Each structure stands twice: as C-alpha cells, then as structure tokens.
Amino acid sequence: MTLKVAIVGRPNVGKSTLFNRLAGRKIAIVDDQPGVTRDRKETTGRLGDIDMILIDTAGFEDVNDDSLETRMRRQTEIAIKEADVSIFLYDARAGVTPIDERFAQLLRKSGKPVVLAANKCEGKQGDDGLNEAWRLGLGDPAPISAEHGEGMSDLYEGLAAAQARLEASGQYVSLEAEEEAEEPFDPDAEAPPVDPTKPIRIA
C-alpha cells in the first residue's frame, strides 16, 4: 500500500533534506535561507517496506496578509489536507518555538495522523529540544538527523503505526486498491437506479 506523506514544519528545519533522503535522490533544493521551497513538490519514496508519495511543503510562517509567506502557508495547509499522514519536523537544536506550537495546533485540528520528528539530533545536540516536545501535544518525537540519515528506524516506526491506524479505520485506500477497483467505462451500460433516500452527491 502506498502512503501519501506531507513533510511539514517552519522554514529551515530540514524538510527538503528529509524529502531528498526518503526519495533516495536530490529533488528539493536544500538551502540555509528560510523559505527557499515556495511550492509543494511531490515524488515517490520508500522507507523500509513503506512505499510513499512524498509532499515537500514550503515553510509555515505566522503571517495573515497576502504575502509570499501567506501563500506558502496555504500550500502547506492544502498538503496536509491531501496527505494520509504528516511528518511534522522541528529543529531540536533550536528547540520548540511559538510558530512550532501554532503549527502543531493546526495539525491537531486536521484530525489526521501526525509523526513528530525532531531533526538535527546528531550526537546529543538536540537533547534540550527533545525535552521540549511535550509543548506540541503530539507525543514523543522521533529523534533524527535528516542530513546524516540517523534515526530513520524511529521514523519508520512512527509511519508504520500511522499506516496501521489508517488501514484499521479504512480512512485511506492504497493506489493499488484504487486501480483494482476501477472498471472500464461502458457507454451502453444502464445507469444504476436512483435511491431517493440518499442525499444528492456533488462531485
């Protein structure tokens, strides 16, 4: 089954680096300048036995006008809506910021599974940031280093748990199942009878 995963977080926390690592190749631009990724990017990826469609998003900025940052945030909100699960990435070396907390609130409101990942945890550099994760209300984080590939087993466990939850609840259907369920269109086939007890469905 294929899991659609949005990688979200504020600017400069390593989203594009993680996107490239899970994709197995360099696709997203990696730069220290916040806001370099301005639009969503999608590609296929894999972690262990989990096949994914990855969505790399622009960084979340706490602004309310019609600026570039606002448009970037809207792209992120759309990605969360389209994804089965979100990886919420924060910078463990910088610690939890007010923007991280507002972002966590947005993710909690979505009602979808969230895997919390604390990036830049090389060695013990992110220990203080790990201890602040409780402020986000999203459970224990997976300590990772997207740049060095550390902690991928912890990230896998979080994604596998989210996938199991989705399968148990029937909240998503794999791409393979969707393809099997599709039937060729027959223009001569009779339309199914209308059930007047059911509400009208608008596409």
Long-range contacts of 152-155 (CB under 8 A, 24+ apart): 152/21, 152/47, 155/47, 155/87, 155/115, 155/117
Alpha-carbon distance 130 to 93, whole Å?
9
Residue 129 CA, chain-centre distance (Å), reads 21
- Among 56, 43, 78, CA closest to 9: 56
- Among 94, 110, 96, 127, CA closest to 6: 110
pLDDT of 128-178, one tens digit each? 899 999 999 999 999 999 999 999 999 999 999 999 999 888 876 444 444
Residue 158 CA, chain-centre distance (Å), reads 12
pLDDT of 79-111, one tens digit each? 889 999 999 999 999 999 998 998 898 899 999
The architecture CATH gives domain 3-26+39-176: 3-Layer(aba) Sandwich (3.40)
The residue extents of the domains of the chain are: 3-26+39-176
